[in-house]
Structure 1
Amino acid sequence: MPHDTRTVLLASATALLDGGGVEAVTLREVGRLSGVSHMAPYKHFQDKESLLAVIATREMERLADMVGHAAGTPHDPGGTLRSVLHAYVSWALEHPVRFRLIYGGPWTCPRPELERAAERTAGVMADVVRLCQSSGEMPDRDPERCTCLLLAAVHGAVQLELAGHLTSGTDPDAVVDDLLDLLRSTR
């Protein structure tokens, strides 16, 4: 078990988030679950939103690392992109509350750390798209817009799946595959 109080607080908050959503996370409950006083979380986080922003930023950084690691194997750019998007779908379906937090959290003020992490993730994803374009796997269009298209499709498919609205026999991975096949055929 980690000995750093901040790390323990973040682990407790993440467990509460995963188990009960944003509403379940209170600084008092985070302190209780962490075995510290109910005031200890305030020494590390200004408020609940600040705590949730750190969790969201860590998850976004994790996604950027995942994409970057996969992009480190450019021998098959199309396969790399497919693997990255499938991994992204898997993460979102395994951690739906974290997914929703990142993309729709309770942000009442700008969160520059989360914005930087999101920009990094999108930039790494755009690098994979560029590799696909240079190998002929995707149409030669603006890579940032292609990245937005891919992420919009993935996010939409995940949201539909989480809400139970994908048609029978369809899942987010199938949507990803269909989109990539379509893009490949239009290059």
Structure 2
Amino acid sequence: MTQRPFHHGNLRAVLLDEATAVVRESGVAGLSLRDLARRAGVSHGAPRSHFVDRQALLDALAQLGFERLTAAVRRALDAGGPLPDRLRRVAHAYVDFAVDDAALMDLMFETKVTQQSQGVQEAAGVLFGTLDGALGPAPGDEAEDGPRVTFKMLFAATMQGIAALVASGRIERPHGEHLVDSAMDTMLGSELAARVITAS
């Protein structure tokens, strides 16, 4: 493996790149600070200048995952067009990320919100705020079980479910893409969506 050049200012980024590669190859269980040091070509103690322990590394990875998914969602939204088209692009971007980085996605969502680091909570908040913003202005007095919240939860549960089927090999990726389109057609044609889109 060709070692990536680094200096004191970007070792953290190199370590996170290597950690992402490890998670893709062998899952979170394969991560260790000592192995990352070996992959980066630094002393085994060097990573601790950026991550005090393995949990700090996992938190940083989860935060990076939320940031990357948020960037993918924003790219999908930036193409513009009618709301249904934007939501379909967001759905595909969400599922693509969850399939390509399934282990990272699991890490991002496996910890209870109350146990997440502040950085992870903030990055997750930006993602969910971006997804919420895709629906347009939110009413200020909607209940926790209101139509907008229900639509967002249904969207996330459906897309993560489809991604899980693809990532586990239960269905082929083209089938998953078809399911995303079918699910969005169903959701966008529902009475629930009519209430949310009208309200926005």
Q: TM-score normalised by the shorter chain: which range applies?
A: 0.7 to 0.9
Whether the 8 Å CA contact 1:129–1:146 is kept in 2: the answer is no
Distance 1:62 1:47 in 2: 23
Q: Does 1:185 align with 2:189?
A: yes
Whether the 8 Å CA contact 1:12–1:30 is kept in 2: the answer is yes
Distance 2:18 2:122 in 1: 25
Q: Does 1:157 align with 2:168?
A: no
CA change 1:183–1:106 in 2 (3 A) is: closer
Where in structure 2 are there 5+ consecutive unaligned residues? 139-145, 195-200
Distance 1:116 1:81 in 2: 23
Whether the 8 Å CA contact 2:166–2:173 is kept in 1: the answer is no
Which residue among 20, 31, 52 is the counterpart of 2:37? 31
Distance 2:90 2:174 in 1: 19
Distance 2:189 2:48 in 1: 54
Whether the 8 Å CA contact 1:56–1:114 is kept in 2: the answer is yes
Task: Name the amino acid aligned to 2:123.
Answer: A
Q: CA RMSD in A?
A: 2.7
Residue aligned with 2:134, SS: helix
Distance 1:107 1:32 in 2: 33
Give TM-score scaled by structure 2 length. 0.77
Distance 1:112 1:95 in 2: 22
Q: Does 1:126 align with 2:116?
A: no
Cα deviation, residue 165, structure 1? 3.7
Distance 1:184 1:14 in 2: 34
1:38-187 map, 5 Å: 38-104=44-110, 109-130=115-136, 142-166=147-171, 171-186=175-190, 187=194
Share of identical aligned residues, percent?
29
Which residue among 20, 23, 31 is the counterpart of 2:26? 20
Distance 1:14 1:106 in 2: 22
Give TM-score scaled by structure 1 length. 0.82
Distance 2:167 2:17 in 1: 24
Task: Name the amino acid aligned to 1:163.
Answer: S
Residue aligned with 1:159, SS: helix
Whether the 8 Å CA contact 2:73–2:90 is kept in 1: the answer is yes
Task: Name the amino acid aligned to 2:59.
Answer: A
